[in-house]
Structure 1
Amino acid sequence: MKTIGLIGGMSAESTTVYYQLINRLVRERLGGLHSARLLIWSLDFAPIAALQAAGDWATAGAVLADAARRLEGAGAEAILIGANTMHLVADQVAAAVQVPLIHIGDATAAALEAIGSRRPLLLGTRFTMEMGFYRDRLAARGIEALIPDEADRARLHAIIYDELCQAVISPASRAEVLAIIAKAAGADAVIFACTEIGLLLSPDDLSLPVVDTAIVHAQAGVDFSLG
């Protein structure tokens, strides 16, 4: 079993999900009392969120790159960034270490290909929905990601930062997000492209197939660890 290094804390709520998922998947595959060889470097999200809001991605990337180097120094044999938005700086992080970075966009694209999706609805932060780093990576695999309209993008972004990242789960917000999804004409799947969205919605809530990025990313990490 290889050791996974997880850059977490973005937010701490979804990092908890990663920890549970990775250990459960290892136990399911190996049985008995097995659990993952896993290192976590959990960042304070408030300074990172401030850098995001200021558009200072280079400084945010330097913080994550430092975390990746620390994980590698502690014995990590691959790096996971436990957040979709911060994959905007994935190249900067990958360049800081010798071990591979397992990209959440690649895990998501593979999951979409497995269900035959070519026009999924992408739900995430405004950064993830609007900036090219994520949609372009999917487009390179022939997947055209759709996004909500501007007002809905702003509302979803607020729900993520003001509620989900702070462990607030609101039935009213759940209804709002379901309404946003219902308006997506032509979508053949839904991507939970924020690792907190799975705290608010379940795939069972939707008629369309769902790719939960936290789940598929954790699976990719375990595939590496046990492969």
Structure 2
Amino acid sequence: MLCTNTMHKIAHVIESRCSLPFLHIADATGRAIARQGLHRVALLGTRYTMEQDFYRGRLEQQFAIETIVPEADDRARINQVIFDELCQGTFTDASRHYYLQVIEQLAAQGAQGVIFGCTEIGLLVPQTQSALPVFDTTAIHAADAVSFMLSSSAPE
């Protein structure tokens, strides 16, 4: 288990070099989205998670879930807030309001839900304030790990 979305960029290396079961955060998230019957969701996270294929591609290939991401300027600001504020323990109303606006824009583009694809986003944006159903990868991944440990088989 690797408790960060962005570092799943190297998950394939870990999986290839370790004989222990690996619980991929995108798989846990994909299963949660599929259980809700959704097929098109927004993805918020670091620039790497939003722009590179290691997360989005896995959701598409393994779960037939299309992800949409904010425009380039918004991706840059989301990334800046994550590293300059959230990772430093700073949570401002201005950033919260900005994230909520982005979520509303993505809903207008057809997103049926939103993935909080950075473990800190859920600390900034309460699920109750989102215009879309929220998939908080931190909680989803942790629940998947508990299920795995209690059942001694990989989650499905």
Question: Would you say same fold, with TM above 0.5?
Answer: yes
Other-structure match for 1:162: 84
1:181 to 89, 103, 108: 103
Count of paired positions: 148
The aligned amino acid for 2:40 is R
Provide the identity percentage.
Answer: 45
Flag the structure with larger Rg: 1
TM-score (norm 2): 0.93
Unmatched 5+ residue regions in structure 1?
A: 1-79
TM-score (norm 1): 0.64
Other-structure match for 2:149: 225
Asked which structure has the greater RCO (Cα within 8 Å, sep 6+), the reply is 2
CA distance in 2, matches of 1:92, 1:222: 24
Unmatched 5+ residue regions in structure 2?
A: 152-156
1:103 to 24, 39, 42: 24
For the 8 Å contact 2:103–2:131, the answer to whether it is kept is no
The aligned amino acid for 1:139 is E
CA distance in 2, matches of 1:85, 1:190: 17
Q: In 2 relative to 1, CA 179–207 (structure 1 residues): closer, same or farther, beyond 3 Å?
A: closer
The aligned amino acid for 2:111 is A
1:98 CA drift (Å): 1.4
1:96 CA drift (Å): 2.3
Partner SS state of residue 81, structure 1: coil
Other-structure match for 1:150: 72
Question: What aligned pairs does 1:1-227 form with structure 2 within 5 A after superposition?
Answer: 80-140=1-61, 141-184=63-106, 185-227=109-151
1:222 CA drift (Å): 0.4
